[in-house]
Chains A and B, each alone.
Chain A
Amino acid sequence: MNSQYATLLDNGPLIQVNRLSKSYSNGHGVISILRGISLEINLGEMVAVMGPSGSGKSTFLFILGLLLPASSGDYYFLGQDVLNLSRADQADFRRRRVGFVFQNCDLFENSTVYENLEFPLIYAQIERQERPEHIVAALERVNLANRLHHPANLLSGGERQRVAVARALVNQPQVILADEPTGQLDRQNGIMVMDYFNRIVSGGETSMVIVTHDPQVAARCHRVFSLEDGLLHEN
């Protein structure tokens, strides 16, 4: 771990967001999606964000993952201001700090499970011979080590989502940003994924922000927020 962050780790929150706002311009004018969001997330915490469709939940996650720039506000990650990073440093931030699980569980098609999990390691310049160890470890956390060389297209929906989670884990990020990770799963698979999530954060080294519509998913999180009219309220 970077020494620059290490000292802050004991006393500060992992993520600190102050008065974050975001507006899109859509040709006809400017629409405000987020209007001053403040939030703190500690390491090892699992946070749920709920809210109606179109309220800006995905937008918020994208900003947390530095996939979108914020319009205004502050965002500190382990005490470091990350909104003003250069493009290359943003990429580095995504490589080492964040793992994404997207709304529509994207895997690389025509690739095996192993190859899917290898890409984050390739971009992080991990030596080739060290990769299997990381990949197997990540798959073990979602109980899929036995599908190591399975073609991604032949996995079941639940398995795909678990592979997507494992892929988000493989670089040992400090935060996993999951956009409706159980949205396309049946009840049983949804519960299973949530079990894994609980186990992942229980180590105390990873935090998680989960966007969800499902109250049962939210019930298993440490804290639940709802996003409405561009503002975040803790329930």
Chain B
Amino acid sequence: MRFSDLLRVSIRQLVRHRRRYWGVMLAIALGTAGFITIITMGRDLKQNFNRDLELLGRATIVKIYFENRPTFQHQKFETATLEALRRMPGVRSASLTVNTHWSIINNKGIEYPFTLLGVDDAFWEVCGFSPQQGKVVSFENNNLRQRVAILGPGLAGTLFDRQDVVGSTLEIQRDLYTVTGVLKDVGLGDLRHFAFIPFTTAQDRIWPISQANRIYLRCLTWDDVDKVVPLIPQVIQASQYAPGLKVEVAWDQVKRVKSVAWWVELFIYSSIAATLVLGGVGIWVVMMAAVRSRTREIGLKKAMGAEDQAIMAQFLAEAVCLSFTASLAGSLMGLVIVEVTSWLIKSHPTQELFLFCVMIGLLVAVGLGVAAGLYPSLRASRMEVVSAIRYE
């Protein structure tokens, strides 16, 4: 039997009996689409989840600073160092800060100490800034050297009795600062009790203010933390003299997030695997039923001189066509899902990865078709002609 005939006859068979097959095809298509989406979007989705999983703590935020020893008092980070850190693969953003400790006496006469942090624009991306009140105003570009402040929710709560504090003023070193926003109380850690003012304002107006000796760095995903952190000292030392360097990571939280992510991934992959296994079992059942209901057809074909291999090839080809077509449809679904999701989360998964997944998906489908169709086809080919013809 020629290959072109085999293909033509098999496809014809599938098309004419599509009602018998579409359930199985749907299962395989869904499995393929899921597989393609998860793999293609995996990294981008992780970055997105990452933002939300900040709930679990600041797992991807790394704090880099100089140990406060008398001899190293005047250590600071150079701009070139900051740039070098930002360029590291797996780093989302890094922010250079200056700080000082300050305290404010509120209207009831109670004194509150807090940390005052002068931050650049990148800081908001690093700490995952989303305002509880007020709006995201870029400190540096819009407020160069201006007296504006954003408060941590803890600090806002202790300083003011009211809820709505945007527009209130704050006196720091006899200057009045306008509060433009309050951070959302999510995964901030000790930043809850900080006040943030523009980097330039802090350097101009606050005295004493520290050197720019603290960098907050944020990794793309929790998986990157492991890879990025050991390289940080090297990168810094390549660009400047840095004795007493400290890198602080919330390892506990990284571990916790990773284990959650691992379970989630396991769940997703096992559901895809389950769908595919289901598809395989579906092919098996459908093909067994087809062999049984087409017993007479098989007998007839053998009486016409079809060899055993031809019968076997035909049923096998039908099973493979079935799973291949389903997988092709799944790839299309996957393409749509990937396009929509990447539009939603504004990311750009690589085309190579997508095509690679499609290839793998199609290969798996062919394998599935062969594996699940093998036994039914073998049974069909082994059938005795006369009993097949006499079969009612």
Asked if A91 and B302 sit within 8 Å, CB to CB, the answer is: yes
Q: How far is the CA of A5 from the CA of B44 in the complex (A)?
A: 73
Asked if A91 and B297 sit within 8 Å, CB to CB, the answer is: no
Query: Which of B2, B297, B305, B386 sits near A62, CB closer than 8 Å?
Result: B386
Stretch in B65-73, B108-116, B144-152, B306-314 with 4+ CB within 8 Å of A: B306-314
Kindly state whether residue A88 has any CB partner on chain B within 8 Å.
Answer: yes
Greatest chain A CB density within 10 A among B4, B5, B296 is at B5
Within B281-332, which residues are at the interface with A (CB < 8 Å)? 296-297, 300-308, 310
Known A67-B386, A110-B17: A94·B305 in contact at CB below 8 Å: yes
Across the interface, which residues of A come within 8 angstroms of B172, CB to CB?
A: none
Asked if A102 and B2 sit within 8 Å, CB to CB, the answer is: no
Q: How far is the CA of A164 from the CA of B136 in the complex (A)?
A: 82
Greatest chain B CB density within 10 A among A96, A119, A128 is at A119
Across the interface, which residues of B come within 8 angstroms of A65, CB to CB?
A: 303
A 79-107 to B, binary, CB cutoff 8 A, 1 in contact else 0: 00000000110011111100010100010
Across the interface, which residues of A come within 8 angstroms of B304, CB to CB?
A: 94-95, 100, 119-120, 123, 167
Across the interface, which residues of A come within 8 angstroms of B310, CB to CB?
A: 123
Query: Which of A94, A106, A128 sits near B5, CB closer than 8 Å?
Result: A128
Q: How far is the CA of A88 from the CA of B5 in the complex (A)?
A: 20
Asked if B1 and A96 sit within 8 Å, CB to CB, the answer is: no
Q: How far is the CA of A123 from the CA of B5 in the complex (A)?
A: 10
Within A27-85, which residues are at the interface with B (CB < 8 Å)? 62, 65, 67-68
Across the interface, which residues of A come within 8 angstroms of B162, CB to CB?
A: none
* Residue total for B at the interface (Cβ-Cβ under 8 A): 23
Across the interface, which residues of B come within 8 angstroms of A119, CB to CB?
A: 301, 304, 306
* Minimum CB–CB distance for A53 against chain B, Å: 14
Label chain A's interface by main secondary structure: helix
Q: How far is the CA of A106 from the CA of B12 in the complex (A)?
A: 19
Kindly state whether residue A9 has any CB partner on chain B within 8 Å.
Answer: no
Across the interface, which residues of B come within 8 angstroms of A225, CB to CB?
A: none
Known A62-B386, A67-B389, A106-B296: A122·B1 in contact at CB below 8 Å: yes
Within B373-392, which residues are at the interface with A (CB < 8 Å)? 385-386, 389
* Minimum CB–CB distance for A120 against chain B, Å: 5
Q: How far is the CA of A110 from the CA of B17 in the complex (A)?
A: 9
* Minimum CB–CB distance for B8 against chain A, Å: 9
Kindly state whether residue B16 has any CB partner on chain A within 8 Å.
Answer: yes
Across the interface, which residues of A come within 8 angstroms of B303, CB to CB?
A: 65, 67, 94, 100, 102
Query: Which of B9, B16, B296 sits near A122, CB closer than 8 Å?
Result: B9
Asked if A108 and B17 sit within 8 Å, CB to CB, the answer is: no
Known A62-B386, A110-B16: A91·B306 in contact at CB below 8 Å: yes
Across the interface, which residues of B come within 8 angstroms of A93, CB to CB?
A: 305
Across the interface, which residues of B come within 8 angstroms of A106, CB to CB?
A: 296-297, 300, 389
Asked if B305 and A108 sit within 8 Å, CB to CB, the answer is: no
Kindly state whether residue A125 has any CB partner on chain B within 8 Å.
Answer: yes
* Minimum CB–CB distance for B3 against chain A, Å: 12
Known A110-B17, A122-B9: A88·B307 in contact at CB below 8 Å: yes
Query: Which of A87, A91, A108 sits near B300, CB closer than 8 Å?
Result: A108
Query: Which of B2, B17, B307, B389 sits near A91, CB closer than 8 Å?
Result: B307
Known A122-B2, A125-B2, A128-B5: A96·B305 in contact at CB below 8 Å: yes
Q: How far is the CA of A87 from the CA of B1 in the complex (A)?
A: 16
Asked if A91 and B386 sit within 8 Å, CB to CB, the answer is: no
Query: Which of A92, A123, A124, A125 sits near B301, CB closer than 8 Å?
Result: A123
Given contacts A122-B1, A122-B2, 16 further A-B contacts (CB under 8 A): A62-B385, A67-B303, A67-B385, A68-B386, A88-B307, A91-B306, A91-B308, A100-B303, A100-B304, A110-B16, A120-B305, A123-B1, A123-B304, A123-B310, A125-B1, A167-B304
15 A-B contacts (beta carbon < 8 Å)? A65-B303, A68-B386, A91-B305, A92-B305, A94-B304, A100-B303, A108-B297, A115-B12, A119-B301, A122-B5, A123-B1, A123-B304, A123-B307, A125-B1, A167-B304
Residues of B within 8 A of A (CB): 1-2, 4-5, 9, 12, 16-17, 296-297, 300-308, 310, 385-386, 389
